[in-house]
């Protein structure tokens, strides 16, 4: 009897901790995902583990309080049912909780560069070059000494266009003037809080 109680205690302990372990592991694996995506995956994993656990509890209850021989016959089908419940509950709850929406988002680019951008991008680039924390490379790129942003010339629809590599990772082509204007405004605000940098400290130059 004692052995049976120990087995039952171990089984209940496993059943109680599996959902929490599944949720914790899912959270750790997807730690770099956006908050909404991480929450959807963690809760979906928890719901899936709970669904599989309910199937296991039903099989255990049938074996304990019902016909043990019939329960033993249904042991393998119950494992298949638990796997199916885990998959179905996880995928469905993931969609219901809003998972996958971040990856499906797309950015609609304009068909052409805005006229205002064509007219003022040269002047806006000169404003950036005049800021104390921007330096110009030999290739003509502008580098921010604060964030590592790189502003350079590219083409969009075969037209000259400025592009910004934010921190050297995400690159955007500045087709809309509003985007360029806001970027210059932010960099100008940053420059107002900076001390005056030595003019000799520029990209590609060595200080004595």
Give the torsion sign (CA, 168, 170, 176, 177): negative
pLDDT tens by residue, 57-83: 887 787 777 777 776 777 777 777 878
Q: Show Cβ contacts of residue 23 under 8 Å, excluding neighbours closer than 6 positions.
A: 42, 43, 45, 46, 49
Domain edges within the chain: 2-103, 115-192
Between 16 and 112, residue with greater pLDDT: 112
pLDDT tens by residue, 84-128: 877 887 788 777 777 766 444 444 556 678 888 888 999 999 999
pLDDT tens by residue, 170-193: 788 888 888 889 899 989 888 887
User: Distance (Å, rounded) from C-alpha 67 to C-alpha 41?
Assistant: 38
Please check whether residue 47 is in contact with residue 88, taking contact to mean a CB–CB distance below 8 angstroms: no
- Predicted confidence band of residue 196 (pLDDT cuts 50, 70, 90): low
> Span 9-20, mean pLDDT?
59
Any idea which residue has 């500045």 for tokens? 174
Neighbours of 119 (CB within 10 A): 10
């Amino acid at each position: 009897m004692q052995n049976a109680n120990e087995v039952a205690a171990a089984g209940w302990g496993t059943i109680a901790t599996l959902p929490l372990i599944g949720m914790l592991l899912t959270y750790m694996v997807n730690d770099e995902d956006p908050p909404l995506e991480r929450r959807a995956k963690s809760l979906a994993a928890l719901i899936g583990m709970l669904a599989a656990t309910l199937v296991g509890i039903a099989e255990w209850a049938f074996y304990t309080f019902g016909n043990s021989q019939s329960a033993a016959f249904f042991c393998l089908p119950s494992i298949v049912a638990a796997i199916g419940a885990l998959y179905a509950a996880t995928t469905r709850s993931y969609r219901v909780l809003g998972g996958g929406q971040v990856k499906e988002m797309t950015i609609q680019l304009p068909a052409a560069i805005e006229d205002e951008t064509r007219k003022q991008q040269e002047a806006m680039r000169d404003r950036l070059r005049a800021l104390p924390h921007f330096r110009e490379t030999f290739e003509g790129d502008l580098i921010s000494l604060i964030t590592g942003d790189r502003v350079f010339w590219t083409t969009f629809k075969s037209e000259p266009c400025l592009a910004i590599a934010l921190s050297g990772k995400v690159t955007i082509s500045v087709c809309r003037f509003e985007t360029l204007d806001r970027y210059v405004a932010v960099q100008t605000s940053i420059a107002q809080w900076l001390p005056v940098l030595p003019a000799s400290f520029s990209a590609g130059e060595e200080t004595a």
